[in-house]
Amino acid sequence: MSIVVLGAIDLKKRFKVPGQRPLEVLRGVNFSVRPGEKVAIVGRSGAGKSTLLNILGGLERPTSGTVTRPANIGFVFQRYHLMPELTVLENVLLPTMAAVHQADGPRTRRATDLLERVGLGGRLKHLPSELSGGEMQRVALARALVTEPELVLADEPTGNLDALTGSEILRVLQDLSVGSSVSLVLVTHSPEAAAICDRILTLENGVLK
Ligand SMILES: Nc1ncnc2c1ncn2[C@@H]1O[C@H](COP(=O)(O)OP(=O)(O)O)[C@@H](O)[C@H]1O
Ligand SMILES: [Mg+2]
């Protein structure tokens, strides 16, 4: 096992804005995450947290700098991003579909087991529109973990939820990750969410401190 599961070296991101100075969102971000480590990234709205997480996850390109990370990662978004026409079980199975050689039995068992662990064992055939926000985010957590990733990236996973539901999601996230070797990078506004992590970093003026 490598010492570092995720490494970012001198990441910079500049957005060109027509008729204005370019927006320098990231000005040289350096950091690394060890296997099993849980890191929170906090910072005000507009600080560049989502931009950073998207670059770490390979969803956006940096202007310069490098990211090293495992191929197998899970992603959790503030707005769940479930496929509306797929059932709960199908949504969780979706990330496993690229592995064509994998038998259906084991992946369906793992998806069902994760849905039971997030408290949705009785909702396998529901559609996302038949669930509450908190339930949709539980599905998204199960989906993020179904491929047994080394690293999960979560962008304000409680940001759309009321305080109590948000706390429940954090408890589920903690239950799923405690005692497991999965690493977590959690972008959050919430001190309560940051407190479940081993380390808290602040993104400010384009750098992490
Ligand atoms: N595609 C884009 N083009 C131009 N500006 C962008 C783009 N994406 C984000 N930004 C700007 O970059 C800044 C950081 O955005 P974001 O990463 O979403 O911040 P946060 O997640 O911390 O609220 C904001 O000022 C936002 O308006
Ligand atoms: Mg954001």
Atom from ligand 1 closest to the CA of residue 48: 17
Over residues 62-121, the pLDDT tens digits come to 999 999 999 999 999 999 999 999 999 999 999 998 877 778 899 999 999 999 999 999
Ligand lying closest to the C-alpha of residue 17: 1
Query: What distance in Å separates the CA atoms of residue 193 and residue 49, rounded to the nearest whole number?
Result: 15
| Model pLDDT, residue 180 | 81
For residue 65, what pLDDT is reported? 98
**Percentage of residues of the chain with pLDDT beyond 90:** 86
Q: Whole-angstrom Cα distance, residue 192 to residue 97?
A: 35
Residue 179 confidence class, pLDDT cut points 50, 70, 90: confident
Q: How confident is the model at residue 176 (pLDDT cuts 50, 70, 90)?
A: confident
The predicted-structure confidence for 25-41, as pLDDT tens digits, reads as follows: 999 999 999 999 999 99
Query: How would residue 2 be classed by pLDDT, with cut points 50, 70 and 90?
Result: low
Q: Which ligand has the shortest distance to the CA of 54? A: 1
- Residue 125: how many other CB atoms lie within 10 Å: 10
Q: What is the mean pLDDT of residues 184-197?
A: 92
The CA 51 to ligand 1 mean position distance, Å, reads 6
Percentage of the chain modeled with pLDDT above 70: 99
Compute the average pLDDT of residues 140-150: 95
* CA-based max dimension of the chain: 56
Name residues contacting ligand 1 (CB within 6 A). 15, 23, 25, 43, 45-51
Closest listed ligand to the CA of 23: 1
CA triplet 185, 54, 39: central angle to 5 degrees? Answer: 10
Answer whether 209's CB lies under 8 Å from 41's CB.
no
Question: Can you give the pTM of this predicted structure?
Answer: 0.94
Q: What is the CA(114)–ligand 2 centre distance, in A? A: 27
49-61 confidence digits (pLDDT tens): 999 999 999 999 9
Q: How far is the CA of 15 from the centre of ligand 2 (A)?
A: 15
Mutate to test the pocket of ligand 1, among 23, 54, 208 (most ligand atoms within 8 A of CB): 23
Q: Determine the straight-line distance between the first and last CA of the chain, rounded to whole angstroms.
A: 27
User: Residue 11 Cα, ligand 2 centroid: separation in angstroms?
Assistant: 17
Q: What pLDDT sits at residue 1?
A: 52
For residue 54, give the 3-state DSSP assignment.
Answer: helix
Kindly report which listed range (10-19, 56-65, 138-147, 177-186) carries the lowest average pLDDT score: 177-186
Nearest CA to ligand 1 atom 11: 46
Ligand 1 nearest-atom number relative to CA 16: 4
